Structure 1
């Protein structure tokens, strides 16, 4: 909404990887299901996404390939592209091929310490989910933490700008306070170890 991004590469059940520009479409897809690793094409879902301006990477197979999704977004003329991924190696591949992409690590409960470290060095934003390793590793170099129970860590200036822009849209008072990260909440999940 604030012009920081012009396209997002996300995954939808029934459509796979897609490129979207409309914040309502992005929230409608991304806010409803987590941890999707495989899906099959559902023509009605694909039609609805396309009717709302989304572009499906492969409507015939509903493939999930975030690197190819960023390539599709770039070839469509988008320059400020964000992409979600649950794979540290995929995040690294995207960073190598598309250095300006805003990479968001999502659905990271249960990842290894090594993958947490790779995400911390590769992604712009990392959702901690219930991961002890993400909290421990990402917090060492994070520029900002949003939330306490399920924190999101900004690892780069681009990630920080996105969190601060979102905070600027808040319709309730916020506290911004310097602290040693991570700051845990009283309702944090018991992280996997």
Structure 2
């Protein structure tokens, strides 16, 4: 990034509220389509009533507490923020040997390839849907120093398809990737059929796109998507959680979740049931 370019990061969070961060500060927050979300109530700075002011305060907390969109951003963590989030499951997969490389989107670096559970969790654990980002050299330096690969240092491009291609080219064979669109999911499945695909940030997608991503992904998060709830729920082999669940759509997706449970000391209820199972508190409304 040249001296004349602005440092701009665009993310979506809490029901696809669009947040623009300029030079390390929250510049714009759009109105979310959600009124409440059980997951948002559990954030480090809870968002109990979803308003632009509350979302802004949450994002500012992320910036101030772990450096999101700033040069000192933390890139490693051993803390699980949710029970069955994509980063938590991928980290567990690396520990078990099911996954040997993860393709993720990071503010300040764009698409990256990482191979340690700590970096997977550090980059992805508290990251919302990254739309676009500006390169932060200090952060990219740390990622590379700790063994990660930055896809595009000059522009911090977000391109999961190219990231997966690079991972295989580098010799990895058990690649996991997070995707936020049906187009990306189907492109990766068509070009790299062995890839472990996680569908994330699904709130507000269309019925057609939900059907496509359910057909391509191994695991998908329900978020606040009524179509993911209905389509993935009906086809799932396993549902983890009842408020903002994840659905395993393949046997290896189910096994990854079961392996995560096996590694945990948390008590778990296992019960056969027709899926989906709706909990008493859901995102409101389902989009």
Give the shorter-chain TM-score range.
over 0.9
Q: What pairs up with 1:107-118 in 2 under 5 angstroms?
A: 107-118=201-212
Aligned-pair distance for 1:186? 2.0
State the distance in 2 between where 1:101 and 1:36 align: 21
State the distance in 2 between where 1:57 and 1:126 align: 24
Partner of 1:43: 137
> Structure 1 residue 162 and structure 2 residue 256: aligned?
yes
> Structure 1 residue 57 and structure 2 residue 134: aligned?
no
Aligned-pair distance for 1:187? 2.4
Partner of 1:133: 227
Partner of 1:119: 213
Q: What pairs up with 1:148-187 in 2 under 5 angstroms?
A: 148-187=242-281
1:13 to 107, 124, 130: 107
- Secondary structure at 1:19's aligned position in 2? strand
Q: Which runs of 4+ in 1 moved over 4 A?
A: none
- Is the alpha carbon distance of 1:124 and 1:49 closer, same or farther for their aligned partners in structure 2, counting shifts above 3 Å? same
> Structure 1 residue 94 and structure 2 residue 188: aligned?
yes
State the distance in 1 between where 2:253 and 2:285 align: 23
Aligned-pair distance for 1:191? 3.8
State the distance in 2 between where 1:98 and 1:129 align: 26
Partner of 1:189: 283
State the distance in 1 between where 2:166 and 2:203 align: 28
Taking structure 2 as the reference length, the TM-score comes to: 0.66
State the distance in 2 between where 1:117 and 1:169 align: 32
Aligned-pair distance for 1:192? 3.1
1:22 to 116, 121, 137: 116
Partner deviation per Cα, 1:13-53 (whole Å, 9 max, x = no partner): 00000100000000011011111110010011111111221
1:32 to 126, 129, 149: 126
- Secondary structure at 1:78's aligned position in 2? coil
- Secondary structure at 2:131's aligned position in 1? coil
Long gaps (5+) in structure 2: 1-94
State the distance in 1 between where 2:97 and 2:205 align: 32
* Count of aligned pairs: 193
